[in-house]
A and B are shown apart, each in its own frame.
Chain A
């Protein structure tokens, strides 16, 4: 696609439920990143994929968070047993292979609200 697409744009869920957030990167972009942005803060890194594998998952806050990218394109961020503190905007970004002298392309995010 022309840009990074994230669905849904908004998600409201009850505490304790399971949610999935989807990211469709720019075609041909091998690297994919997930960030979480809480109100009034800058984005915080969660996980980075190079192709199908997670190259760095050091930002995942705990084992309730998991992400996959089975075919090296679309990625799904999965949150189990959601808590109110998980409420945030979840941003996805992608970048092409090779030397990177420019910023990543971000999607518009999924606003997750846990009630």
Chain B
């Protein structure tokens, strides 16, 4: 079964508007971490934001925030005030295991975001 599901293959947003990219996950672990990465056309994976399963507050990093709904097993990324440079692939990922532990990331299939001027 897929552990990370991103149901939106592609999304469009108008410049300066906010956009939400969906991510649901599946795990039986009580302790896990959720990540969002951006991959521009250059190919490099750029870390955006992290949410731990025990974190009570939703994570925020500048224009990025993570809408974490634990009971629904969702970890949606919200980008506020979209910019043309936000056009890229966005991947949601999960790492199972105790807080802060090392271990492999499981990625979703990604959402291609296009920002329109």
Interface, chain A (partner B; CB < 8 A): 31, 33, 35, 40-45, 48, 50, 55-56, 59, 89, 91, 93, 95, 98-109, 111
Name which of A50, A89, A95, A102 has the most chain B CB atoms within 10 A of its CB: A102
User: How far is A43 from B33 in the complex, measured between Cα atoms in Å?
Assistant: 17
Which residues from chain B contact A31 at a C-beta distance below 8 Å? 102
Cβ contact within 8 Å between B103 and A103: no
Known: A101-B50, A102-B50. Contact between A43 and B45, CB under 8 A?
yes
Chain B nearest Cβ from A53, distance in angstroms: 13
> Which of B44, B93, B102, B108 touches A100 (beta carbons < 8 Å)?
B102
Cβ contact within 8 Å between A102 and B47: yes
> Which of B44, B50, B106 touches A106 (beta carbons < 8 Å)?
B44
Q: How many A-B residue pairs have CB under 8 A?
A: 68
Cβ contact within 8 Å between A109 and B91: no
User: How far is A108 from B40 in the complex, measured between Cα atoms in Å?
Assistant: 11
Cβ contact within 8 Å between A108 and B43: yes
User: How far is A95 from B35 in the complex, measured between Cα atoms in Å?
Assistant: 14
Chain A nearest Cβ from B49, distance in angstroms: 8
Which residues from chain B contact A50 at a C-beta distance below 8 Å? 102
Instruction: Give me 21 A-to-B residue pairs in the complex whose CB atoms sit less than 8 angstroms apart, sorted by A's number.
Output: A42-B107, A42-B110, A43-B105, A45-B105, A48-B102, A56-B103, A93-B45, A100-B100, A100-B102, A101-B52, A103-B35, A103-B50, A103-B105, A104-B47, A105-B47, A106-B44, A106-B46, A107-B44, A108-B42, A108-B44, A111-B43
Cβ contact within 8 Å between B104 and A91: no
B37 interfacial contact with A, CB 8 Å = yes
Cβ contact within 8 Å between A109 and B106: no
Chain A nearest Cβ from B104, distance in angstroms: 4
User: How far is A93 from B107 in the complex, measured between Cα atoms in Å?
Assistant: 14
Which residues from chain B contact A108 at a C-beta distance below 8 Å? 42-44
